[in-house]
């Protein structure tokens, strides 16, 4: 019987037997939206997500299977600040833990984003369900990041308030003379607990928003998942999503067109295509800002090194489709 099937069909059946992801035509991509896709206020976010929705709709029209993750930097800080102030004004209430603030940011960013995408698709005559999954991401309690927190968050505090935070076991940093802010860890993602739900929705033809803000960092304690006082870089969670979903492409959409080093100097270089090994050399030479570009570059290297047949792309939000086609942005391969 098997001799009656062509090679493509045999490969398809072999993949099904092995339990691998099957996609006969569509390419699967994980799209990571940066801060420029949102904003620091509710009105700004509602305006900016329309730009992101257009980029996503272009990819839907091009027949890509899409999972979206996104930044939540300003939003989670705003929520944490608001909840802290609320607890300060009314002693009956406690400060919200970071895990809860992360969950809130996932919910309201996902709400705005999925509605904007739905509207854009319907305006183009396309009906697809867009779903947001509140996503928990496993981290290692012994991750070195917990001993060396680097992510500044929340409102400015007085010296007395900062000392009170330290007495609770939290870390603070002095940013300006007499002004302090809390600083938390940014551990690496190990696993994504809702990944099977993401796969199921994706294979049902839906667009999925997951791992927003890097996901909610949790520690596994028996059958319980305990929220960690941390945040996860969304770029690393995007790479983890792409790995677990066996994506063809990891696409970072940013405010700039291409990876550039030495900008504005005689040594300026702009990259159209580059390999992971070449990028590592530039990292070793101290290129790429730690807060903005480095996580995207490092996550791209990790992904394409694990899946040599895949690629990572860093491109402008408004040129997403061209980035995937290699007409814009920077393409990173193994």
pLDDT tens digits for range 19-35: 444 444 579 999 999 88
Query: What local confidence, expressed as pLDDT, does residue 2 receive?
Result: 46
Contacts for 61 with CB less than 8 Å, ≥ 6 apart: 124, 126
| Distance (Å) of CA 22 to CA 16, 19, 203, 252, 281 | 7, 9, 9, 24, 36
If you average pLDDT over residues 200-206, what whole number do you get?
A: 95
pLDDT above 70 (res 246)? yes
Query: What local confidence, expressed as pLDDT, does residue 329 receive?
Result: 95
Query: What local confidence, expressed as pLDDT, does residue 63 receive?
Result: 93
Query: What local confidence, expressed as pLDDT, does residue 4 receive?
Result: 52
Strand partners of residue 209: 68, 132
Query: What local confidence, expressed as pLDDT, does residue 298 receive?
Result: 95
Query: What local confidence, expressed as pLDDT, does residue 77 receive?
Result: 81
If you average pLDDT over residues 273-294, what whole number do you get?
A: 88
CA distance 10 to 13: 5
CA distance 159 to 69: 37
pLDDT above 80 (res 302)? yes
Among 137, 119, 152, smallest CA distance to 212 is for: 137
CA distance 28 to 312: 12
Contacts for 294 with CB less than 8 Å, ≥ 6 apart: 283, 288
Query: What local confidence, expressed as pLDDT, does residue 114 receive?
Result: 96
Q: Which of 88-92, 100-104, 118-122, 216-220 has the lowest average pLDDT?
A: 88-92
pLDDT tens digits for range 164-174: 888 888 888 88
If you average pLDDT over residues 99-115, what whole number do you get?
A: 94
If you average pLDDT over residues 55-70, what whole number do you get?
A: 96
pLDDT above 90 (res 288)? no
pLDDT above 60 (res 1)? no
Greater pLDDT, 175 or 210: 210
Specify whether the CB–CB gap between 217 and 187 falls below 8 A: yes
Query: What local confidence, expressed as pLDDT, does residue 52 receive?
Result: 94
Query: What local confidence, expressed as pLDDT, does residue 299 receive?
Result: 96
Query: What local confidence, expressed as pLDDT, does residue 16 receive?
Result: 42
| Averaged pLDDT of the chain | 88
If you average pLDDT over residues 176-184, what whole number do you get?
A: 84
């Amino acid at each position: 019987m098997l001799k009656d099937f062509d090679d493509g069909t045999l490969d398809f059946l072999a993949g099904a037997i092995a339990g691998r992801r099957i996609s006969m035509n569509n390419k699967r991509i994980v799209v990571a939206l940066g801060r420029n896709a949102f904003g620091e206020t509710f009105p700004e976010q509602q305006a900016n997500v329309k730009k992101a929705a257009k980029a996503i709709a272009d990819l839907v029209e091009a027949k890509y299977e899409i999972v979206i993750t996104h930044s939540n930097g300003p939003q989670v800080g705003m929520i944490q600040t608001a909840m802290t102030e609320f607890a300060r004004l009314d002693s009956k209430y406690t400060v919200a833990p970071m895990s809860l603030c992360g969950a809130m940011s996932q919910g309201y960013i996902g709400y705005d984003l999925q509605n904007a995408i739905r509207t854009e698709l319907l305006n183009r005559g396309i009906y697809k369900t867009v779903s947001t999954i509140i996503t928990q991401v496993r981290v290692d309690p012994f991750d070195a990041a917990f001993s060396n927190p680097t992510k500044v968050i929340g409102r400015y505090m007085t010296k007395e308030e900062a000392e009170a935070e330290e007495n609770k076991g939290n870390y603070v940093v002095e940013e300006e003379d007499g002004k302090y802010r809390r600083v938390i860890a940014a551990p690496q993602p190990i696993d994504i607990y809702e990944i099977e739900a993401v796969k199921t929705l994706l294979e049902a033809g839906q667009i999925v928003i997951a791992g927003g803000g890097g996901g909610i960092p949790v520690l596994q304690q028996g059958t319980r998942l305990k929220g960690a006082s941390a945040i996860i870089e969304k770029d690393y969670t995007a790479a983890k999503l792409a790995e677990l979903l066996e994506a063809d492409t990891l696409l970072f959409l940013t405010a700039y067109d291409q990876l550039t080093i030495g900008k504005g100097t005689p040594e300026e270089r702009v990259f159209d295509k580059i390999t992971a090994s070449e990028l590592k050399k530039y990292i070793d030479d101290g290129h790429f800002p730690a807060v903005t570009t480095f996580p995207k570059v490092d996550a791209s290297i990790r992904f394409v090194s694990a899946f040599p047949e895949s690629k990572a792309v860093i491109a402008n939000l408004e040129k997403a489709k061209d980035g995937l086609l290699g007409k814009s942005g920077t393409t990173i391969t193994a």
